[in-house]
Structure 1
Amino acid sequence: MPVNAVAENVLGTMGAICWTVQLFPQIWKSRKHKSTEGLSPYLVLLWGLAAGFLGAYTLLLNLNIPLILQPQLFGVLSLVSWGQCQFYGAKRSRAVAIALTLALMLLVGGFEVAMVFALRPALDAGSEAGKRGVQFLGIFSAVLISLALIPQYVEIWRHCEVIGISVLFMLIDLLGGLFSDLSLAFKDKFDVIAGVTYTTVVVMDALVILAAVILNPRAEKRRRRAGAPHREEEATATALSSRT
């Protein structure tokens, strides 16, 4: 595709907006039902950690501002969701869950800043070691983002349906990856590693959505035949009773 700075920034901004709001449906869903059953804490934890690697990568390569902001927002919201898993799922106190979440945010942020300061001089000097270091950050973030969804697939397999995780969250996340991918296509040089990362998000999110479309109606039919309550209503009741 021809270089188009306007298209690059517009699509990048659309991707950033999607990845800014993507986790709000998930955070709201967990808060509403007072439960994170079915949501793997490893998913949001690994995504939060991956944001440190991807954030340093985008800063070092000086990608457009929306793509630089994406991993920062992505990481913060992922760790907020992880904090909910600690509170609702692991039954930690509110103070402990907040303290753990803030500590992880500081750790990831500190790592990101350290990587930028450590690799910037070598990268500016054209050092091969600096280039390899930046590539490692990008590749490792893609690996973490991919691996993070495996525990969620295990949760889906265990429950035989998609519960706990918001399908709207997955859809917005998918769109964020798609818009970000398209924005890279209008750069003067396509960033392969960032492209692989965004494409991985699109594919793996799509698998979760597909599982929800196929498995959830079947599970609901089984519950209706058995006269059982809706799974999330049951989870909400259980969570409320455990807090009282």
Structure 2
Amino acid sequence: MAINSAASTVCGLVGTVCWCVQLIPQIRYISQKKDSTGFNPIFMGLWLLASPFLACYAFISNQNIAIRIQPNVFMMFCLVAYYMSCLYPPHKKSKKFIYGSIGGFLLFCVVLEVGTHWPALIFGIISGVVLAAGIVPLYFELAKRQGRVVGISFIFLGIDSLGAYLSILSVILGTMDIMGIIMYSLIAVLELGVFASQIIWMIRFKWLGKEPIVDEENMIIEEEETDDSIIGSKTNDETIKNIASTEN
């Protein structure tokens, strides 16, 4: 019996909206940079794999309508983000691989829908584990850069985390489903770890002034993120020097 079905539906609806739009900033980020550094296709690939299990679980466990819609919209944006992560370097894949993997995934969804008579708990466990596993590659990326977050939109992470918290609240106020709470909590905790990693990196290397070990990849990223005004000032200095040498 629901504790407060109206509040559950509202939280679920807002959480669904968050999970409908959370990947838009990340997709836009990659599209603008034409680069998917730090955003491993495995991340979105695993989230894609989890989404049909999540959809089946929400349906079988009789969640509210917002929670049922959520996984399908989530799947659509994951599919776009996966495509973008495979399209651009350094993870650039062949068109054959991209379209083949997407086609295989859609076929997998059809087969899974036929098997919705499986116990709901199985779908819940699989979706929770795979969603959590999808974030693990981000931690490998963090380890490469001493904890610095690169290539990930914090707007995306923030909205996604908010969606997870609201979904947890929706489940608590609704069916009080323990499996659902654990599933969304795993996402929230792992994403909180990504935020914490960036904060720790800033404390160590920005505020305390410790010198980071910069590899070639990070040097390239730093150059790309250099402020235009700084680049402009360097260009002006070089121009002045050239004029001066010409006059001499």
- The answer to whether the aligner puts 1:198 opposite 2:184 as a matched pair is yes
The match for 1:238 is: none
Secondary structure in 2 aligned to 1:35? coil
Indicate the larger mover: 41-50 or 69-78.
Answer: 69-78
Measure the CA separation in 2 of the matches of 1:149 and 1:185: 24
Contact 2:2 2:176 in 1 (8 A): no
Structure-to-structure mapping, 1:140-155, within 5 angstroms: 140-155=126-141
The match for 1:122 is: none
Measure the CA separation in 2 of the matches of 1:217 and 1:28: 28
Q: 1:217 to 1:75 in 2, by over 3 A?
A: farther
Structure 1 or 2: more helix by fraction: 1
Contact 1:23 1:78 in 2 (8 A): yes
Shift of 1:115: 2.5
Measure the CA separation in 1 of the matches of 2:190 and 2:49: 18
Q: 1:211 aligns with which of 189, 194, 197?
A: 197
Measure the CA separation in 1 of the matches of 2:195 and 2:97: 29
Q: Alignment identity in percent?
A: 31
Shift of 1:136: 0.9
Q: Which amino acid aligns with 1:47?
A: W
Q: 2:154 aligns with which of 157, 167, 188?
A: 167
The match for 2:239 is: none
Q: 1:15 to 1:104 in 2, by over 3 A?
A: farther
Shift of 1:182: 0.4
- The answer to whether the aligner puts 1:91 opposite 2:92 as a matched pair is yes
Secondary structure in 2 aligned to 1:163? coil
Unpaired runs of 5+ residues, structure 2, are: 227-248
TM-score, normalised with respect to structure 1 = 0.79
Aligned residues: 216
Q: 1:184 aligns with which of 171, 179, 186?
A: 171
Measure the CA separation in 2 of the matches of 1:83 and 1:25: 15
Shift of 1:69: 1.4
Q: Which amino acid aligns with 1:210?
A: A
Q: Which amino acid aligns with 1:140?
A: I
Unpaired runs of 5+ residues, structure 1, are: 120-129, 236-244
Structure-to-structure mapping, 1:47-196, within 5 angstroms: 47-89=47-89, 90-93=91-94, 95-96=95-96, 99-100=99-100, 102-116=102-116, 119=117, 130=118, 133-160=119-146, 161-187=148-174, 189-196=175-182
Shift of 1:138: 0.3
Q: 1:232 to 1:41 in 2, by over 3 A?
A: farther
Q: 1:214 to 1:100 in 2, by over 3 A?
A: farther
Contact 1:80 1:101 in 2 (8 A): no
Q: 1:234 to 1:51 in 2, by over 3 A?
A: same
Measure the CA separation in 1 of the matches of 2:225 and 2:104: 31
Query: 1:130-189, CA deviations, whole angstroms, 9 ceiling, x for partnerless residues?
Result: 5xx2201101111111111111100111122100111111111110000000011112x3
Shift of 1:47: 0.6
Measure the CA separation in 1 of the matches of 2:99 and 2:121: 33
The match for 2:222 is: 231
Q: Which amino acid aligns with 2:130?
A: L
Secondary structure in 1 aligned to 2:88? helix
**Structure number with larger C-alpha Rg:** 2
Q: Which amino acid aligns with 1:168?
A: I
Shift of 1:57: 0.8
Measure the CA separation in 2 of the matches of 1:232 and 1:112: 46
Alpha-carbon RMSD across the aligned residues, in angstroms, is 2.6
Q: Which amino acid aligns with 2:190?
A: M
TM-score, normalised with respect to structure 2 = 0.78
